[in-house]
Structure 1
Amino acid sequence: MLKVHERFLNYVAIDTQSVDNSDCFPSSEKQKNLASILVKEMKNIGISDADMDNYGYVYGSIPGNSVKPIPTIGFIAHMDTSPDMPGDNVKAKIVKNYDGKDIVLNKEKNIVMKTDMFEHMQNYIGQDLIVTDGTTLLGADNKAGIAEIMSLAEFLINNPDIKHGTIKIAFTPDEEVGSGAEHFNVENFGADFAYTVDGGRLGEIEYENFNAASAKVIINGINIHPGSAKNKMKNSILIAIEFQQMLPIFETPANTENYEGFNHLCDICGSVEETKLSYIIRDHDANKFKAKKDRFFKIADYLNEKYGSDTVVVELKDSYLNMKEMVLPHIHIVETAVKAMKELNIEPEICPIRGGTDGARLSYMGLPCPNLCTGGHNFHGKYEYISIQSMESVVEILTKIVELYAK
Structure 2
Amino acid sequence: MIYSNAAHKLEDRFFKYVKIDTQSDPTSKTTPSTLKQKNLAKVLVAELLEIGIGDAHMDDFGYVYATIPSTTQKQVPVICFCSHMDTSPDCSGENVKPIIHKNYQGEDLILPDDHSIILKLAEHKDLKDQLGNDIITASGTTLLGADNKAGLAEIMEAAAFLVQNPEVKHGTIKILFTPDEEIGRGVDKADLKKLGADFAYTVDGETLGSIEDETFSADGVKLIINGVSAHPGFAKGKMESAIKALADILSALPKDKLTPEATNGKEGFIHPVSFSGHAEQAEAQFIIRDFDDELLKSHEVFLESLVKEVLKSYPNSTYEFEVTEQYRNMKKVLDKYPQLIENGIEAIKRAGLTPKKQSIRGGTDGSRLSFMGLPCPNIFAGEHAFHGKQEWVSVQDMEKAVQTIINIACIWEEKA
- Per the normalisation by structure 1, the TM-score is 0.96
**2:385: which partner in 1?**
378
Q: CA deviation at 1:286?
A: 0.8
1:78: which partner in 2? 84
After superposition, the C-alpha distances for 1:241-292 in whole angstroms (9 at most, x for unaligned) are 3212443331111111111111111122344333322211111101001111
Give 1:180's match in structure 2, choosing from 159, 182, 186. 186
Matched residue, 1:278:
285
Tell me how far 1:7 sits from its aligned partner: 0.7
Separation in structure 1 between the aligned mates of residue 171 and residue 278 of structure 2, nearest angstrom: 60
> 3-state SS of the aligned residue for 1:4?
helix
Work out which of the residue numbers 70, 74, 97 in structure 2 matches 1:64: 70
Match of 2:296 among 266, 289, 292: 289
Alpha-carbon deviation of 1:306? 4.6
What RMSD in Å do the two structures reach over aligned CA positions? Answer: 1.6
Whether contact under 8 Å (1:300, 1:313) holds in the other structure is no
Offset, 1:198: 0.7
On the 8 A contact 2:135/2:395 being kept in 1, the answer is yes
Question: What secondary structure sits across from 1:351 in the alignment?
Answer: strand
Q: Is the 8 A contact 1:106 1:112 kept in 2?
A: no
Displacement of 1:109 = 4.7
| TM-aligned CA distance change 1:48 to 1:100, over 3 Å | same
Identity of aligned residues (%): 46
Whether the 8 Å contact between 1:296 and 1:314 is mirrored in structure 2 is no
Residues 126-158 of structure 1 deviation map (CA, whole Å, 9 limit, x = unaligned): 100000111111111111101000100110111
Supply the AA of the counterpart residue of 2:227: G
Shift of 1:177: 0.8
Give 1:316 shift: 2.0
Distance 1:217 1:304 in 2: 13
Does the Cα contact within 8 Å between 1:303 and 1:311 map onto a contact in 2?
no
- Residue 236 of structure 2 is aligned to residue 262 of structure 1: no
Q: Which residue of 2 aligns with 1:316?
A: 323
Larger CA deviation: 244-253 vs 206-215: 244-253
SS of 1:352 mapped into structure 2: strand
Superposed structure 1 runs of 4+ greater than 6 Å apart: none
Q: Please name the residue that 2:3 is paired with.
A: none
Moved more, 159-168 or 225-234: 225-234
Change (3 A) 1:251 1:46: same
Q: How many residues align?
A: 407
Q: Which residue, 320, 332, 339 being the options, matches 1:325?
A: 332
Corresponding position of 1:142: 148
Unpaired segments of 5 or more residues in structure 1?
none
Contact kept in structure 1, 2:240 and 2:316, CA below 8 Å: no
**AA of the residue aligned to 1:65:** T
1:103 paired with 2:130, answer no
8 Å Cα contact 1:303-1:312 kept in structure 2 = no
Distance in 1, Cα, partners of 2:352 & 2:91: 35
Aligned counterparts of 1:188 and 1:225: Cα–Cα separation in 2: 59
Between the aligned partners of 2:120 and 2:73, the Cα distance in structure 1 is 53
| Pairing 1:198–2:200 present | no
Equivalent AA in structure 2 for residue 260 of structure 1: E
**Which residue is equivalent to 1:363?**
370
- Once residues 65 and 343 of structure 1 are traced to their aligned partners in structure 2, the CA distance between those partners, rounded to angstroms, is 21
Deviation at 1:405, TM superposition (A): 1.2
Q: What displacement does 1:69 show?
A: 1.4
Residue of structure 2 in register with 1:351 after alignment? 358
- Return the offset for 1:227: 5.1
**Contact 1:70 1:165 (8 Å CA) reproduced:** yes
110-119 or 39-48: which moved more? 110-119
User: Which AA in structure 1 matches 2:119?
Assistant: M
Residue aligned with 1:198, SS = strand
